[in-house]
Amino acid sequence: MTTLTKTVRADDTARAVGSGDLDVLGTPVLTAWCEEATCAALDLPAEQTSVGVRVLVNHLAASPVGMEIKIDAHVTSRDGRAVTFEVTADDAHGTRVADARIERAVVDRERFLARLPGVTP
């Protein structure tokens, strides 16, 4: 399991990222934090990376600016290149802020980038 700790800043709020008009943690930021935790949980060689395939996030509670959030990610299955994670996020008071299921695919970094038009690995 990998654990990240983040503190909600003014630029992490729904108002700041355009996902609402309240000064609480925005769902897009929370989702990015959950994905960041899954990336950190993978121990990949330099020539590999992972890309997001599917994200299902249940944003369960609001978090004000200044609140510390702990995000835990652990692998629940691995089938070839496909890796599935269960992720939880809890605030400093022990309130469950989110739970998520995230799927990622492990890819060869250069081969992945070479398939994109106009991108040189």
The answer to the question of whether 52 is labelled as a binding residue is yes
> Which of 27, 36, 74, 84 is flagged as catalytic?
27
Positive/negative CA dihedral, 105, 108, 112, 118: positive
In this prediction, residue 121 carries a pLDDT of 67
> Which of 2, 13, 31, 35 is flagged as catalytic?
35
pTM for this prediction: 0.95
In this prediction, residue 106 carries a pLDDT of 98
> Which of 13, 31, 38, 59 is flagged as catalytic?
59
Q: Is 27 a catalytic residue?
A: yes
DSSP 8-state symbol, 116:
S
Closest CA to 29 of 16, 46, 45: 16
Which carries the bigger pLDDT value, residue 80 or residue 118?
A: 80
- Domains and their CATH numbers in the chain: 2-114 (3.10.129.10)
Provide the pLDDT confidence category of residue 107 given band limits of 50, 70 and 90. very high
Q: Is 35 a catalytic residue?
A: yes
54 by DSSP, 3-state: which? strand
109 by DSSP, 3-state: which? helix
Give the torsion through C-alpha atoms of 109, 52, 74, 29, to 10 deg: 120
80 by DSSP, 3-state: which? coil
- How do beta strands 82-91 and 2-7 pair? unpaired
The answer to the question of whether 81 is labelled as a binding residue is no
As a whole number, mean pLDDT of residues 27-42 equals: 98
